[in-house]
Amino acid sequence: MGVKTPKVLKVVSGWEAVELVVKCIFIGLWQILQILVKRLWKGHRRKSMKKYPSVELTVDSSIGTHCYIKVMGVKYHYVESGPKSGKKLLVLGDAPDKGNLWGPIWSRVVRRLTENGYHVITVDLRGNGGSEGGSRRALAPPRVVEELATLMVALGVSKDQPAVVIGFGIGGMLTWYLAHCYGVLMSKIVVVGAPHPNQYWQNSPASFCKGALHFIQWPHFPEKWLAEDELRESDNKRWSSSRACDWEGALNYVRGAAWWRIEPGHRIVPPALLIGCRESATQLVSSAQYCVNSALRLIAKPDPTDPELPAIVLEFLVAVEKSPETESRGLVGRMLGAVAGRGRELTAKLVLPAQA
């Protein structure tokens, strides 16, 4: 591929690996028993589950051009928007894909970015949309990171022409790995709703993982039960992809991440914007220690449907060009404002009492 990367990915081994396996067996078994009891208590019946027909890929073509590319023998689907000669911007969505990247809020962000010369490339993660799926080993961080870096190079990204990468949820987790291993290919990163991978067991990499990380390491049951829960909650919703309820891709990404860590002390160089929910301020600060240069923002719901997200992302990516006159006036204005403010404070202290 022509890009050298430091060996920063370390597999969990030794006693730590043994301890992790034992925890996944026993804690996972306990979680399975809890789920079974809950399902029996609620009177769950397998025969009562409805059969939902598959839905074909229905992304709005007005947003961009649908493309396919084969990388290291794996077929990826992506949608590109904006001038091909513009600065590359890669978007990695969450998994499973619910079509949030094609909603009105994020679509406006994409249009604004393309208007400012960005070539936006929205990639379906493996097992989502039109991209090929993969086993647990195929979706482990070393393999996935190499695939994504190869994909970036095939799309024209290089050390001389680095790209911006935006990741949501599991896509954000992969953005962390990518920035550590192939930071030379990235000019900026935006991570939305994803803690640093070294915080895997302290902070869940995705909302569906909360309280069930050990259970997710088990085969078969997580895919089956998570899919049933999603179908039950979305009776009146239309998925954007026939793969949206296929949890295998999402779970295999999470399963692989459990066994890989970033080398302690290694920090990413590209400027990073880290966005999390307002309850995760501590998690965000802990993740920032792995960045040389980072900005932190807290919003109500860190995903493409949050109305606060567009302004934050655009402020970070779209530079507002100012003329020298505007800058000098702005400086003078700020100085005069500061003087006026101080004057108002002193005046307030000297106000005479009102006469009767």
pLDDT tens digits, residue range 289-308? 999 999 999 999 999 999 99
Of 339 and 293, more confident: 293
Q: How many helices (H) and strands (E) does the chain have?
A: 10, 10
Look at residue 234 in the predicted model and tell me its pLDDT: 44
Half-sphere exposure of 235 (CA within 13 A, CB side): 3
Neighbours of 39 (CB within 10 A): 14
The answer, yes or no, to whether residue 321 has pLDDT greater than 60, is no
CA–CA distance from 88 to each of 66, 118, 134, 269 (Å)?
16, 6, 26, 18
Segment 20-40 shows an average pLDDT of 86
Look at residue 130 in the predicted model and tell me its pLDDT: 87
> Which residue type does 196 have?
H
Segment 65-85 shows an average pLDDT of 94
Look at residue 156 in the predicted model and tell me its pLDDT: 95
The answer, yes or no, to whether residue 345 has pLDDT greater than 50, is no
Segment 328-343 shows an average pLDDT of 42
Look at residue 326 in the predicted model and tell me its pLDDT: 37
Look at residue 245 in the predicted model and tell me its pLDDT: 53
Of 349 and 105, more confident: 105
Set out the domains of the chain in order of their start, with CATH numbers: 9-46+65-317 (3.40.50.1820)
CB 96 within 8 A of CB 170: no
Q: Tokens for 311?
A: 């302004």
Segment 58-87 shows an average pLDDT of 87
Look at residue 249 in the predicted model and tell me its pLDDT: 87
Question: Given the structure tokens 């029996």, which residue do they identify?
Answer: 40
Look at residue 114 in the predicted model and tell me its pLDDT: 95
Look at residue 338 in the predicted model and tell me its pLDDT: 41
Give the separation between CA 48 and CA 235, rounded to whole angstroms: 14
Give the separation between CA 312 and CA 81, rounded to whole angstroms: 21
Rounded to a whole number of angstroms, the distance between the first and last alpha carbons of the chain is 85
The answer, yes or no, to whether residue 6 has pLDDT greater than 70, is no
Q: Nearest-CA neighbor of 95 among 151, 194, 169?
A: 169
CB 251 within 8 A of CB 171: no
Give the separation between CA 299 and CA 82, rounded to whole angstroms: 28
Highest-scoring range by mean pLDDT, 19-23, 227-231, 236-240: 19-23
Give the separation between CA 178 and CA 168, rounded to whole angstroms: 14
Q: Which tens digit of pLDDT belongs to each residue from 236-278?
A: 344 344 444 568 888 999 999 999 999 988 999 999 999 999 8
Mean pLDDT of the chain: 81
Look at residue 246 in the predicted model and tell me its pLDDT: 67
Of 279 and 271, more confident: 271
Concatenated DSSP letters for 213-236? HHHHTSSSHHHHHHHHHHHHHTTT
CB 288 within 8 A of CB 224: no
Look at residue 264 in the predicted model and tell me its pLDDT: 86
Look at residue 203 in the predicted model and tell me its pLDDT: 86
- DSSP assignment letter at 291: B
Question: Given the structure tokens 């640093």, which residue do they identify?
Answer: 196
Look at residue 229 in the predicted model and tell me its pLDDT: 62
